[in-house]
Structure 1
Amino acid sequence: MRLKENIKDIYKTLLNDEHLLRLLHYKANHLDDDVLQITEERPALLSLPLDKLWEIRDKHIVPAAISTNLDKQEICRLLLYPGSRRGTRNHYTARQDVAIEVITHVTFSNDLRQEAICDRLADLLFDNRITGLGKVDSVAGDRINPNGLPTNFTGYRLIFSFGSSKGGS
């Protein structure tokens, strides 16, 4: 099955993408403020000292279905966790879903941040060989009910799927 390995492969892909980290970390002042542009005020994140880089990664990308302390921060955060698993017509393989929730504070909405993060996740994962058997597929996406989120946050859940062996290690 190798679920831990599969989640870890996707997690590492997210952790090591400058574009995604910049979208999660830097706040835009207006719609046309390009947070992807490297400046003195917004340096390249992957070039930071490792302790500072890991502080940013840990703040924004959480490999779990539950996140804490959102109500105390203006932040964008990803939650990454396994989803449904179902058999295929092949006795030895299954389809494994992985969910990525994009949680954004309203102060990041002035440049359509949540949409940009979802687009980047699709670019990184869809139709690429990231983990498991074959290429990752984009299965679904849906708004997260705001009643389940802290005040001033919105959320969008993306579901990706990949092939997986039914066997163990």
Structure 2
Amino acid sequence: MQYVTIGGVTVGVCVAAYYLVGWWPGANTLRKDPLRSLAALLPFLAAWCYGALAVLGVGGLVGWIADTALWISNWLGDVALVWGVGGQAGAHASTSNYLPLTQAGTGVVLILTAVMAALLKKSGRARDLKMGMWCGVCLAMSAGVAGFAAVPLAQSANAVGGWVYGAL
């Protein structure tokens, strides 16, 4: 399991900011039709949730891909902090509220992996999904607000898994 560094969190926040700037419909459009404007965020947010769940202790191929994405993001962010703005690299920014997935919760993540693979292949919003997953991987274990959001996600996946598979 990888831990997120300040550089990894910075990359995650940059991905979210980049996406939100591209999404921003303008104040007038947002006032006229807020539901349609906010609905355009749903693919990114759903993928963020999946990315967060994928990095929360899931093993196997899915966990390896999520850990590798986090490792690369940590490295890129640390390099950018050191060479870009003269900061320091490697400081952990992980939360202590880490909640592992149960066996049933990992089953839910596997189901969600199949859904995300289908969406990536068939959906016209593949870019939004990829950016959301990347952002979720980077921010799920941070000590900030996004990291605290990962705890209810894991609890939800565990609860849904308990419902789907029965009490294990």
TM-score under structure 1 length normalisation: 0.30
Higher strand share: 1
Higher helix share: 2
Higher RCO, 1 vs 2 (CA within 8 Å, ≥6 residues apart)? 2
